[in-house]
Amino acid sequence: MADRRADPERTHSDDVAALAGQYERIPRGAPVRLAKPTSNLFRFRGAASGPGLDVGRFNRVLDIDRTAGTAQVQGMTTYEDLVAALLPTGHMPTVVPQLKTITLGGAVAGLGIESSSFRNGLPHEAVREAEILTGDGSVVTARPDNEHAELLRGFPNSYGTLGYALRLEIELEPVRPYVHLRHLRFGTADECAQAIAQICTDREYDGEQVDFVDGTVFGPGEQYLTLASFVDSAPFTGDYTGQQIYYRSVQQRSSDYLTAHDYLWRWDTDWFWCSRALGVQRPLVRRLWPARYRRSDVYRRLVALDRKYALTDRISALRGGAGNEPVIQDVEIPVGRLAEFLDFFHAETGISPVWLCPVQLRDEEGWPLYPMDPDALYVNVGFWSSVPLRAGEAPGKYNRAIERVVRELGGHKSLYSTSYYEPEEFWQLYNKPAYQKLKDRYDPDGRLPGLYEKCVREK
């Protein structure tokens, strides 16, 4: 958790006033960006230009109400700090995205997901109130029952193009000390999808309550669901912060126990499985790689350097290859179409492993800028790798094919990574009328970029 002792007299109101003053001093017409040390976006760009808003001070948990089960949290607070503050009180956020440096504001303005999403939906669905610095320089408090209710509903999937979350009041849920994990293997994607649907409906399996569900696909004939349940005691606990690797345990063990803390961060140590591309899963390298650097934000910075200097593509060229296309996406597929998508994906890309995470919205009204059906169960399919290009193939081939199939299957694609949509298709998918109405009201002069410009054009 952030150290509040550095300036004990500083209040949230002081932070807001300072930021609003910064924003007002940025010349009209100059691009506006956030000056922040970490990012979990995969839209890599050139060197940032224009003045940056210093939002580093918005990194505190302001208050935890144990009785009400709520917390007041500043928008740039990382989930690592938020979880560290909440677990000693016996609480956690309703959804904890997998990577430690994702911020609460980022998960609300973008989209976050994790293994509690089949019952708790997405992080923004736990937001009761949001204080937002809007594009016109105003600071407004949006609640479901006030004049800014439309902004609260339209803020998710706006990616900072309507404004920035300064403070959020969020719902919490109680935790127990340990989590029991069961790894179930399925021979076909269809069997796996049917099990997901049934387990998410029943919220129990083989007589034990299920609090968390996610899955790992190692290939067309090898998929696992991990069912996890809170428990008060454990006969042993696994440790995947050292030499052992969590995703390998899914194949090796049918049952496991973790502390609640280690369960929430089970994927971060190896950035799911992506640390293998950096050699961190090799036993000798792993022993020499300091434990404090075995974490997702470190790996992401290394990937950013690779993208900046095109190191991987240069090596490919030296070997006679045509380069690689990064295929880094999260998509939501209706559970009944999951097997179709995985069949296409295996044949088209050959990427494995692949992450599965079921999600169903809590709110029956849905969310306008990411219009999932609130009555439907979806499965998030996450894949983070690259595919070798053949001679004459331009980057974008595989991502465009994925975008096409996701739409054909009635799915949705998150916008944290590269997108290739043409404007007309993009706005059909992401509700231009609702977005434009909010843009006209809260950023009438266009000081912030538009959603299409930020998420598709800026590459």
Same domain, 186 and 117: no
What is the DSSP annotation of 420-442?
---HHHHHHHTTHHHHHHHHHHH
pLDDT tens column, 141-189: 999 999 999 999 999 999 999 999 999 999 999 999 999 999 999 999 9
**Residue that finishes a domain, picked among 234, 251, 266:** 266
Whole-angstrom distance, CA of residue 302 vs CA of residue 315: 16
* Same domain flag for 393 and 373: yes
| Nearest Cα residue to 293 out of 269, 264, 272 | 269
User: pLDDT value at position 305?
Assistant: 86
Residues 66 and 209 in one domain: no
- Verify that 117 and 81 share a domain, yes or no: yes
123-142: per-residue pLDDT in tens? 999 999 999 999 999 999 99
Residues 170 and 182 in one domain: no
Q: Do 232 and 375 have their domain in common?
A: no
Q: Is residue 333 part of a domain?
A: yes
Place of tokens 């290739």: 420
Claim to verify: residue 219 and residue 112 sit in the same structural domain: no
> Would the CA dihedral through 107, 152, 10, 448 be positive or negative?
positive
Q: 338 and 198, same structural domain?
A: no
- Shared domain check, 376 and 387: yes
pLDDT for position 8: 61
Which pTM does this prediction carry?
0.94
Residues 132 and 189 in one domain: no
Q: What is the mean pLDDT of the chain?
A: 93
pLDDT tens figures, 388-406: 998 888 889 999 999 999 9
Listed residue (127, 129, 126, 106) closest to 117, CA to CA? 126
151: CATH: 3.30.465.10
Q: Are residues 38 and 145 in the same domain?
A: yes
313: helix, coil or strand? helix
Residue 392 is predicted with a pLDDT of 85
Asked whether residue 369 is assigned to any structural domain, the reply reads yes
* 377 shares a domain with 238: no
Q: Give Cα 16 distance to the centre of its chain.
A: 26
Last residue of a domain, one of 266, 295, 320: 266
Count of other CB atoms within 10 angstroms of residue 25 = 8
What tens digit of pLDDT does each residue of 348-387 get?
A: 999 999 999 999 999 999 999 999 999 999 999 999 999 9
* Residue 301 counted as domain residue: no
In a domain, 303, yes or no: no
Give the domain extent around 49: 4-175+445-457
How many domains, in total, are found in the chain? 3
